Every structure is written in C-alpha cells, then in structure tokens.
Copies of this chain bind each other. A is one copy, B any other.
C-alpha cells in the first residue's frame, strides 16, 4: 500500500478523533453583539503537546503561561479569546491568564495544569474577567465545534481558516486538523497568529516538537503581512494517540508521512493567513532559487514578500519589478547583480542582471491575478525557498487607523 494524503471536505480542528470544541459570544469587546469571541478546544485523552511561540521579547501573559506549562509537554485543552491580547498587562495579566485556565479546567473536569491559554486583540488592556467567567460556563463542546472555535479566534480576519487531512500508509492511518487566525501584525518568525493543530496519531514528544518546528519553517515562518511581530504568536500541536498506532518517532516511513502531512496542513493555513491579510486583495508568492544557502533563500524570499513598495505595486497592477530587485539587494542574502534572473509569473524581465524586452501588458495581466508569483534565480548555489504575503491597500490603512476606537 502506498502512502496517501487526502483533504477532508469541511474538515477542521475537531475532525481528528476525540477532539471537541465550542465557543460563545462573551462580549469581551463591549458592543460586539453575537460575535463569537471565547472558545475551548478539548481532547478526551491527554495529549502529547508541542508549541512554538513569538520571538518578540515582550511576550503576552498567555504565551508566558503556555511556555511554562509546556515544559511537561502535555495538555488536555486550550481556552482562547479574541478582543483583548492580555499583553503589556504585567503580573495582574498573568493572574488573569491563570484564572482563565483554572475556570476552564473546572468546567471540563480537567487538571488546571493541563489547560493552555491564548488571547488575541488589543495590547495593554486587562481582560474583562467577569465576562470571561460567565462566558466559559456558556460554552458547550461538540465534535463538530471546530468551526465555531475558528470563528471565535478571528479579529480582523474576514474568513475562518481551517483544514483537516487524513494520511494513510501500510498499517497506519491518522488525521491532522487545524485552525488559524491572522491577519495583522504578521511577520516572520511566526506571524501574529494563533494556530491550533490536532492529531489522533500517537507521536513521541521529541519528534512532535521537531516536526512542528520543521513544518513552521516552511509555512508560518515564511508568511508576512506587515512586518510587525506580535507578542502573542502561538502555535500548538496536540496529539492524543487515539488512532492507536505505535508512536511515530524520528526516522522511518511513518515519520516521513507525518512530516509531509503536517507540512501540508501548515502551508495551507499559512497561505490562508497571507491571502486574508488585512485589506488584502491577493496572495503574493515569492520563490528564490539558486541561493548560496537555505538561510539566504529564506531571507531573500521573506524580504521581497514584505516590501511595502512591491506590495503596493502589485495592488496597483504597476509592473515596477525594480522594487523586487531593490528588496533582494537589501535582504542581506548573497547576490551578484550580473547573475540575477527574474520572472514575473512566467515572463522573464531580467536575465543576468539586464532588463529583457517584454510586453508590459503581459506583466500587468500577471499582476491582475488573484495569486501573483515571482521567481528569482540567484545562480549562486542550489538552495530554494518560497514565501507568501499579500498586497498593501488603502483598506489596510483604514482598518488599522481605527482599531481601538
């Protein structure tokens, strides 16, 4: 039997066996009406759990709490809210995060130490604990509740972002699900995002953390919306083992399949975040080939996809590809102008550093697509990387000039 990965239609974070979720409208932001803003993800079996967190030196209270609790490498539940990030709130904020976990544990009959917390929204404001206390008691969990959870996490996201896939091979079959929220303050490493991944596969703890790291490197760490990195970024992967397989560990076919499936889930969610960037009208994809090293390829791709001037040019369908070259040059990656080839879509505009003749309207047509791919060949080595982002529009300015008021 060959190994196989299939996307499950309408799949979400509760699609893997034994995961339940639910959400409620707790009015964390006053006047938010019936918008879901508080949710719980729960596994009926205790999970081996891996996590990756913001590289920002100022970390939100929930991030500090998760980092502490994940030293044990396990969790049974995650409680999450939007509308308030519980960041820049000092010790009182830490106490609020701990109370959120304790309340959730009590409602679920779980151990408080096994509950993780994530919050997203305005920085520098305390959580409205009264409304959270009441809200948690109103959440009912179901094995189809992932869709509500995905909605409860949204801030300026315009669509919920979720997926599930099944992977199978000789004697092995498991499911991975995931939900993610963007959509501003997104920049490598780990764009401002909250992402929860679940799997019913049994996985060795060390391999789980290593696999999550590898998957993030080709997905969430390759996404940029605006160059700002949030204090709240949280990526969690819970594995409850209910598929009954021998635990997946490093090396071998099972590990390879698990990594492949996890990469696919993470790349899908990362691209969904980029596509739904604040005010975005399209997905930008930048591929750098022929770099001297993997690190150079990633640096160059991420710098170009983050360039405000290229993002605005694509939005305006302006074939100003010199901005791609300028961003490459400032990226820090090793480049030689006379070795550089550049394609916009499949149109060659620069060969060995010299502008090529092309029909401008062809380039404009590429820029008008929903997905705009750019490919650079540095011809310095053999390493490649791809990064994703979105265009920069008036709407990004409008959304973010009125965020707290």
Contacts and interface: CB of A to CB of B under 8 A. Distances in A.
Contacts of A306: 227
Given A90-B354, A228-B323, A355-B89, A328 B58 contact: yes
Contacts of A57: 328-330, 332-335
Contacts of A317: 401, 405
Given A124-B355, A228-B323, A355-B88, A58 B337 contact: yes
Given A335-B58, A394-B398, A330 B403 contact: no
Contacts of A30: none
Interface in A334-381: 334-335, 337-338, 349-350, 352-355
B308 A228 contact: yes
A319 interface: yes
A337 B392 contact: no
A57 B378 CA distance: 13
Contacts of A59: 329, 337
Interface string A219-248: 000000011111100000000000000000
Interface string A293-333: 00000000000001111001101111111110111111011
A326 B90 contact: no
Contact of A401 (B315, B326, B329): B315
Contacts of A352: 90
Contacts of A90: 337-338, 352-355
A401 B123 contact: no
B88 A350 contact: yes
A312 B226 CA distance: 11
B323 A123 contact: yes
Contacts of A55: 330
A95 interface: no
A398 B125 CA distance: 34
A85 B309 contact: no
A185 interface: yes
A228 B330 contact: yes
A306 B227 CA distance: 9
Interface residues of A, number: 70
Contacts of A393: 397
Instruction: Quickly give the copy total for this chain.
Output: 2
B320 A404 contact: yes
Contact of A318 (B231, B329, B338, B401): B401
Nearest to A187: B330
Q: Which residue, A326, A335, A337, A405, has most C-beta atoms of chain B within 10 A? A: A326
Contacts of A226: 308-309
A185 B229 contact: no
Nearest to A351: B90
Nearest to A330: B229
A61 to B, nearest CB: 10
A402 B330 contact: no
Contact of A326 (B229, B307, B313, B405): B229
Nearest to A126: B355
A256 to B, nearest CB: 34
Given A231-B326, A329-B57, A122 B88 contact: no
Given A57-B333, A57-B335, 12 more contacts: A58-B335, A58-B337, A88-B325, A88-B353, A90-B352, A123-B325, A124-B322, A124-B355, A228-B308, A316-B405, A319-B404, A394-B398
Interface of A: 55-59, 85, 87-90, 92, 122-126, 184-185, 187, 226-231, 306-309, 312-313, 315-323, 325-330, 332-335, 337-338, 349-350, 352-355, 392-394, 396-398, 400-405
The 4 closest A-B pairs by CB, nearest first: A316-B401, A123-B322, A58-B329, A124-B322
15 contacts: A89-B354, A90-B354, A122-B322, A124-B349, A185-B323, A226-B308, A228-B309, A229-B330, A308-B400, A312-B396, A313-B404, A315-B401, A317-B401, A318-B403, A393-B397
